[in-house]
Amino acid sequence: MLITVNSQNPQMRLIRKAVDILRNGGIIIYPTDTVYGLGCDLFNKRGIEKIYEIKKRNKKQPFSFVCADLKDISKYAFVTDYAYRTMRRLLPGPYTFVLQASRLVPKIILPKRQTTGIRVPDHPICLALVKELGHPIISTSVKGEDGETLNDPVLIRERFGHCVDMIIDGGVCPGGAIHGHRYRGRRRGNHPHRKRRCIGLHIEHLKV
């Protein structure tokens, strides 16, 4: 199913339709401020397993997830004062923050790790989905068989229409033309002056 949603002013009846699919265990493809994301409810274990299959991805490689705002992040990760100030300055935006995960984060996306990647994209559709659902959704980039990021909804439907429940057409995303960043927050107790700032990487190099 392909639906077209206004990227600047999302129609809530369509957002609710997508959220109903998420609540019923479905998988959707949705736009973000960098690329299209493949996702499901954070607490949908079967959905996460299916996304691993769709991506043909090693289960030792974790997925990031999307939160609605800073308050939401604090439920799923331990946030130091330094990390909070940094996130408040940069979010929403094209950044993935790698933070120590709280117990709410499912073990399936934490293979032998204690950290998790969290995003708050600067995109109305993406944020509307998370807010309406009430908790995070998985976020991993949509790529073709050759590994190239797909940002055209028509091409995405041709490639993934048979294995997902909904594709949200929000227009063409910026893709590789925009830089993504990761901020790796250290555990409490480390000296604050030794904490590193955002490490800039091209978005296609991130395991999102």
pLDDT confidence of residue 184: 56
Tokens of 159: 């490639």
CATH H-level, domain 2-205: superfamily? DHBP synthase (3.90.870.10)
Tokens of 57: 């991805």
Question: Which residues are CB-contacts of 184 (< 8 A; sequence separation ≥ 6)?
Answer: 98, 115, 196, 199
Contact predicate 178/203, CB 8 Å: yes
pLDDT confidence of residue 113: 77
DSSP-assigned states of every residue in the chain = -EEE--SSS--HHHHHHHHHHHHTT--EEEE-SSSEEEE-BTT-HHHHHHHHHHHT--TTSPPEEE-SSHHHHHHHEE--HHHHHHHHHH-SSSEEEEEEE-TTS-GGG-TT-SEEEEE--S-HHHHHHHHHHSS-EEEEE-B-TTSPBP--HHHHHHHHTTT-SEEEE-----GGGSEEEEEEPPPTTS-GGG----EEEEGGGS--
- Does the bond joining 92 to the residue before it have cis omega, within 30 degrees of 0? yes
d(CA 204, CA 114): 24
pLDDT confidence of residue 151: 85
pLDDT confidence of residue 9: 94
d(CA 66, CA 25): 17
Tokens of 129: 């989905």
d(CA 150, CA 87): 28
What is this structure's pTM? 0.83
pLDDT confidence of residue 110: 87
Task: Please name which of 142, 175, 127 lies closest in space to residue 10, comparing C-alpha atoms.
Answer: 127
pLDDT confidence of residue 177: 39
- Please identify every stretch of the chain with a pLDDT value under 50, giving residue numbers as ranges: 176-180, 186-208
